[in-house]
Structures are given as C-alpha cells and as structure tokens.
Amino acid sequence: MKKTSAIDGAYRYFIESLICPEDPCLYLSPVPKGKKHGGELVPSNADFSSSVSVRIARQWARRLASELTVSSGKRGGQQVGRAFERIVARFVDQSFSALKAARPGVWKLYGLNEVPDISHFCQYAHLGELERVLGDNRELKASLGGGHIIKPDIILSRSPYPDDELEALTGTAVSEGAKRAILRQDCNPKEILHAGISVKWTIRSDRAQNARSEALNLIRNRKDRMPHIVVVTAEPAPGRIGSLALGTGDIDCVYHIALDALLEAVESVDAGDAYDHLRMMVDGRRLKDIRDLPYDLIV
C-alpha cells in the first residue's frame, strides 16, 4: 500500500486556509472604475495595472480552486500579509515536524507576533550589546548608525544540547577540546537560528529590496554559521519573482506557494518570454515549490 504524505496533507490544509471564505488571502475583487480592467473581478495577488499579472493570476487561481470568495473591495495589504504569514508559519510547523526524524533535535518555530529580537539567537547575540551601547552614546550612534537589529517574519531555531543528552544521542563522550561548539549548551546557552523565512504575498520593487536587505543583514551581522535565508511568495508575475530569485549569494531560494499551477498558467497565456524566464529560474534551482521547503530546511 502506498504511504500517504504528511507534507501533502499539510499543503492541502494550507491551500484551504488561503481561500477560506471567513478570512481569505486569495479571493476575487473588482478593479476600481476608471482603472485598467475597471469593474472586472481579479485575484487578490494580481497587480491591477499589469495585464500580464492579471491574466496569469486568473489562470493560476483557477487551477487552485474551482470557486473563490468575491469581495466588494481589496483588503489592506498589511491585513492580507499578516494572515499569509500565519498560514505559512503553520504549514512550515506542520511539514517540518513531519520530517524531524531525519534531523533530531529540539526545534522551535517563531511566527507572527512571536519573533523575538534577533539577539535572542547565538549568531546575533552580540547585536543586543551593540544596540545597548549605541543607545547610550548618541555620538557613536551617529558615526556607526543604528538599525542593526533585524528579524525575519518566521524563524526556525534549534536548541543546543546538554552534554549528557549529546553523549546519549551520539554514543560517544563529548570532546574536552570542544570548548566553543554552539551545539553544546555548556558553551552556548542561546538558541541557534537555523532558518529565517521572509513572507511576501506579492513582490513589488520595494518589497524585493526589503527582502534582500534583510538577507544581507543576516549574512553580514552574524557570528558563526549562517542560517537558511529564504522567501515565500504568491507573486504571479515571473519578472517580479526574478527580481528576488535571480542571482546568488544573499537568498538561498524563493519558494512559490503553487509553482506547478504557476508554470501551467504562464504557459497558457500569451506573455512573451515569461514562461522561458520562469523555467530558467526553476531549472537553475532559484525557484521551488513551498512543498520543497521542509525538505530543504532539514539539510
């Protein structure tokens, strides 16, 4: 008998939550009169001002759900964004938990309104002290600048082990010379930041820049190992996805919430080289489906 996938089960619930009539992220709303496509119903992740975005979003939404809630107007961006963060956090929690046997440890997921200061984690503990020093010295703050404390929308952390648990798990004694290993609780009492997840319902130029800035801050301000740095999005336009996905060095990968449906949608509309552009990102391992994310986080 073929085994059922816990990841697929979590994903089905994820999609159901996105289109839930009581609090939908993905819904249909009319474009304001006087604007392009005025009066037409378009999906909530489409950019009204872009015909390509509207056409792709329509085809994509049809592949996700046979029927979507119709709203009298578009919900506020922050309202949708916060709801999307909660839904993504729940999916990551459920799907990663299903794979924990492949990566034993004490893991914790921080989601909306729960993410502590970045200095809570061992790689960035020094930033808390830096912020305190800068706060007490205006002249120094003016010279060095502030804003060093940054935090992703969702964080996955791992707790260090007490030596007795580490020895029981590995079957060997802890090395007396390993005096600075962050996996040892005796050396490091703070949680280890394993992954930082930036959640963007859509990607506009300012949001793309914000995500890159967050990633670069995590890279440049850390001590010790670098966490996974990823972006999750529902953006329908390949060009805008490419503004984050293309290139290497700052973001591990961009994860789309329904990549197969997006590939089919883009191929079905006349959007110039958009399909080839999308395919290039997928083949180049710069764009994946959100169901790939828990497996990649296990690494």
142: its two tokens:
């003016």
Predicted pLDDT of residue 144: 60
Q: Which of 9-23, 194-208, 285-299 has the lowest mean pLDDT?
A: 194-208
Q: Is pLDDT above 90 for 31?
A: no
Predicted pLDDT of residue 147: 57
| Overall average pLDDT of the 95-114 stretch | 92
Predicted pLDDT of residue 223: 96
Predicted pLDDT of residue 156: 98
pLDDT tens column, 154-211:
999 999 999 999 999 999 999 999 999 999 999 999 999 999 999 999 998 777 788 9
Predicted pLDDT of residue 283: 98
Q: Which of 1-10, 94-103, 132-141, 149-158 has the lowest mean pLDDT?
A: 132-141
Predicted pLDDT of residue 143: 61
* Average pLDDT for the chain: 92
Predicted pLDDT of residue 196: 97
pLDDT tens column, 251-270:
999 999 999 999 999 999 98
Predicted pLDDT of residue 73: 77
| Overall average pLDDT of the 222-250 stretch | 94
pLDDT tens column, 65-87:
989 999 887 788 889 999 999 99
Q: Is pLDDT above 90 for 151?
A: no
The C-alpha angle with vertex 104 and arms to 11 and 233, in degrees rounded to 5, equals 30
| Overall average pLDDT of the 44-65 stretch | 95
